Structure 1
């Protein structure tokens, strides 16, 4: 177990190193001069040169990369080219908003997918199972932003039960915070839950065909008890893999949903800085998202060993 953890940590660090080089390289290859973009087209060459020197844009590429990475390691994300304010506090404020949205949406997706997917598998030859499968298929086909628009139309515009947009920090007004969180979480969580439901159904069906489940049923256990006592751990392994992919999808989907509901999260900040061509800001946000995805994959890989003890023996 310890050896596996060390190896996965080494893979994580190597992946982060390669990812940082790729992110930095892509930003360098983008056309345009960040200093001229920040000062405007009418800025003098002297002013542009001073700003390039101030931000180190006149230094060799390798030196700029090393300086950027060392800043990341010190949690010093630098200053914006456009507004010239510190980047780290702004990203931290927006990250808290996105974490609330993505975290609640993932919890909702799991809460919906696990029982519904299990019922679909246990009743896959009944009308109820077919109906649930059809509903889940419709959910898979609906993009999160469209689900958000439909929810706004029904619950905010027509019924007036919930606000259509906005964001209130939980420490200022917990009730308003929850009311504003409901619709964006539903739009993200239900769509991702529909996708996850299909994988839960497939995984449970595969486990039900195993000999140990047939043996448990032959000893008198009902379908659900046999699955609960002997099959859920094995069924959870592929589902955990999909959860990692789903979380990455949620982070991407949150960019659009934050725009639909006018939520000041990390996705909205990323789109704003892309439109401003503030490359160092975009660079830091993209690297943060890459780090989040790699950390999720790292945690999932460790969870494999925790869920299935057989993997602890002889695992490379």
Structure 2
């Protein structure tokens, strides 16, 4: 178990290093001078040179890379090229918003997918199972942004039950916070839940066809009891993989949903920074998202070790 954990940590660290090199190299080869963009085309060469000196843009790329990584590790990524304000607090504030959105969307997706997928598998030859399967297929075909627009049209514009946009911190006004969280959560959770439902159905169907489950049913257990006692853990292994991928998808999908609902999250900060050509901010936000995806994959590996005892020993 300890050996497996050390291996996974080593893979995580190596992946973080490779990701940081790729992100930095991609930003470094983009055309244009960040100092010139920040000051405007009419700025003098002296002013541009001073700004390049201030942000360290005149140093070798290797030095810039290690300085950037040191800033990330010490939670002090420096100042924005455009606003000259500290990047760390801005990312921290926006990240909290995105985590609320992604976390709520993932919880909703799981609450929908696990029972519906299991029910679809156990009733896959019955009309109710076919109806649920058709609904999940329709959910897969709808993009999250389109679901958001439809929800706004119905519940915000038509019925006027919920706000169409905006964001209130939970500490400031919990009730308004929950109201503003409902529609974006539904936009992400319903679509991702429909996708996850298909995988849950497939995993449960595979387990239901196993010999050990037939034996449990032959001993007198009902299908649901046999699945809960003997098949749930086996079905959970492939589902956990998909859930990890879905969580990474939610992080990326939140960028669009934040725009639809005018939510000041990490995705909105990224798009605004791209529009302003604030390359250091773009670089930091992209790296934060990459780190989040890699961390999710690491956590999925750890959950594997807890779910499947076969992975705790022997060679992988």
TM, length-normalised to structure 2: 0.99
- 2:92 equivalent in structure 1: 92
Residue 315 of structure 2 is aligned to residue 311 of structure 1: no
Equivalent-residue separation in structure 2 for 1:184 and 1:261 (angstroms): 7
Give the alignment's Cα RMSD to 1 decimal: 0.6
What does 1:98-113 correspond to in 2, within 5 Å? 98-113=98-113
Distance (whole Å) between structure 1 residues aligned to residue 277 and residue 21 of structure 2: 20
| Runs of 4+ deviating beyond 6 Å | none
> What pairs with 1:156-305 in structure 2 (closer than 5 Å)?
156-305=156-305
Q: How does 1:96-175 map to 2 (within 5 A)?
A: 96-175=96-175
Per-residue CA deviation, residues 236-266 of structure 1 (Å, 9 max, x unaligned), is 0000000111011101110000000000000
Structure 1: distance between partners of 2:125 and 2:296: 36
Counterpart of 2:80 in 1: which secondary structure? coil
What is the Cα deviation at residue 290 of structure 1? 0.5
| Aligned residue pair count | 316
Q: What SS class does the counterpart of residue 163 from structure 1 fall into? A: coil
Report the counterpart of residue 82 of structure 2 in structure 1: 82
Residue in 2 aligned with 1:19? 19
Contact 1:4–1:315, Cα closer than 8 Å, also in 2: no
The Cα of 1:312 is off from its aligned counterpart by 1.5
The offset of 1:309, in angstroms, is 1.2
Give the Cα separation in 2 of the matches to 1:47 and 1:237: 58
User: Offset of 1:315 from its aligned partner?
Assistant: 3.8
Greater CA deviation, 163-172 or 303-312? Answer: 303-312
- Distance in structure 2 (CA, Å) of the matches to 1:310 and 1:214: 22
Q: Distance in 2 between matches of 1:39 and 1:8?
A: 45
